[in-house]
Amino acid sequence: MGKDAANTPFNFFQYFDSFNKAEIDNFISSSLKQNPTYHFLAFVAENNVETIPQLQELFAGYDVDLIGAVFPELIVDANFIQQGIIVFAIKKSAHILVDEIPHDNISVKSKANDFSSKLESHLNSDSTYGLFMIFDAMLPNIATILDETFLIFGDEVNYMGVNAGSETFQPIPCLFDKDKIVGNAMLAILMNSDKPAELEHGYKVPDETIVATSTDSNCISSIDWKPAFETYREKIMQYYQVEINNENFYELAVHFPFGIIRADDEILVRIPVMLDDNEYLYCVGEIPENSILTLLESPTEGSTDTINNLSAKQSANTQNLIFYCAGRKMHLKEGAEQELNGFYNQIESGNYAGALTLGEIGSVNRGSYPLFHNATLVTISVN
């Protein structure tokens, strides 16, 4: 059964624990009565990808757009939910689903330039925009796409976004519209938005730094001129007295992420997610060669710094997307739901729903350069 999410005059989303044609149809119809120009954004839990063709068939009967993504879990009423669909009614805006994204930098720059230029033509100088991007988490060159996008849009938009896909980090078709379901893709939505994405992670930086001396996109092959995993293992033992090896890597690495230290003191979290046969480390998000890194001190269960900072940035009576990093949830375990509930308890009012994500995108300041993050909580206003 579906359920309304908040006691507001109009709920801009509705959650359905399974595909129910009559209930979803009713939500579409009632939303269009509120505003005939709405289009619809759908988040589908990974366990329910088989419902996407049914959604597409239902929306084929309406002269409205459907766009959406698959996530490991959904967020509704401060709960992580492993099944179902959330359908959002969103003010009509320009959007594009870009598939067959190449992995070499020259070709991907051309692709990014093409879709960015098409969307830029929809900008109106009288409005403030947010560029909301949803990427397939398996793309290795997201930061390169963000670079090219920034060259086109500059400070004309607020940058925001997340990664979709499977928490197993195996390729799946995870982005869709009314006609197709694709992987190796991204969805870009130009929304009327006067607020940037709000991101917080709460990770702390130790004094010592290391250097990623050899990298290729999201792969680190050497740190401080030594094999990457050898240095990583040594530093974890030095800092935290924990023995990490090939056998327990997937269990423990999520607790010991890298931090990229930027010139403006912004810290970008990078969670190692794979160790290959050469003992190269793969992260969610690119690691530029010769980046200054550190091994971050992770938030502990019960810490409230992150939610205190995030809730202080929220506006009352707003409609928001909320996202929570899957790696953060793996690290905090039961503490992740406590943290999510703590955030909901602190916000005065508002309408929030979203998903568990595999990477997050935001800017430090309005209109500033888009940065790719891990391990964050994110809110995006869609009023």
Digit-coded pLDDT (tens) for 343-382: 999 997 779 999 999 999 987 666 678 888 889 999 999 8
Digit-coded pLDDT (tens) for 223-238: 999 999 999 999 999 9
Digit-coded pLDDT (tens) for 131-186: 999 999 998 888 889 988 999 998 889 999 999 999 988 999 999 999 999 999 99
Picking from 36-40, 217-221, 262-266, 372-376, which range would have the lowest pLDDT averaged per residue? Answer: 262-266
pLDDT confidence tier of residue 126, bands split at 50, 70 and 90:
confident
> Mean pLDDT over all residues of the chain?
90
Q: In what order do the strands lie in the sheet with 377-381?
A: 79-81, 74-76, 351-357, 319-325, 377-381, 198-200
| Residue 263 pLDDT exceeds 80 | no
Asked whether 281 and 232 are in contact (CB, 8 A), the reply is: yes
> Residue-wise over 306-334: b if at least 16 C-beta within 10 A, else e?
bbeebbeebeeebbbbbbbbbbbbbbbee
Q: How far apart are CA 340 and CA 244, in angstroms?
A: 29
Digit-coded pLDDT (tens) for 285-332: 889 899 999 998 888 888 899 999 999 998 888 899 999 999 999 999
Q: What is the pTM of this model?
A: 0.89
pLDDT confidence tier of residue 205, bands split at 50, 70 and 90:
confident
**DSSP β-bridge partners for residue 320:** 352, 381
pLDDT given at position 185? 96
Digit-coded pLDDT (tens) for 52-103: 999 999 999 999 999 999 999 999 999 999 999 999 999 888 999 999 998 8
pLDDT given at position 5? 41
Structure tokens at 238: 């030095």
Could you tell me the residue ranges of all domains in the chain? 1-200+299-383, 210-295
pLDDT given at position 75? 97
pLDDT given at position 366? 65
pLDDT given at position 261? 85
pLDDT given at position 192? 80
Helix/strand/coil (H/E/C) assignment for every residue in the chain: CEEECCCCCCCCEEEECCCCHHHHHHHHHHHHHHCCCCEEEEEEEHHHHHHHHHHHHHHCCCCCCEEEEEECCEEECCEEECCCEEEEEECCCCEEEECCCCCCHHHHHHHHHHHHHHHHCCCCCCCCEEEEEEEECCCCCHHHHHHHHHHHHHHHEEEEEEEECCCCCCCCCCEEECCCEECCCEEEEEEECCCCCEEECCCECCCCCEEEEEEECCEEEEECCEEHHHHHHHHHHHHHCCCCCCCCHHHHHHHCCEEEECCCCCEEEECEEEECCCCCEEECCCCCCCEEEEECECCCCCCCHHHHHHHCCCCCCCEEEEEEEHHHHHHHCHHHHHHHHHHHHHCCCCEEEEEEECCEEEECCCCCCEEEECCCEEEEECC
**DSSP β-bridge partners for residue 322:** 354, 379
| Residue 4 pLDDT exceeds 70 | no
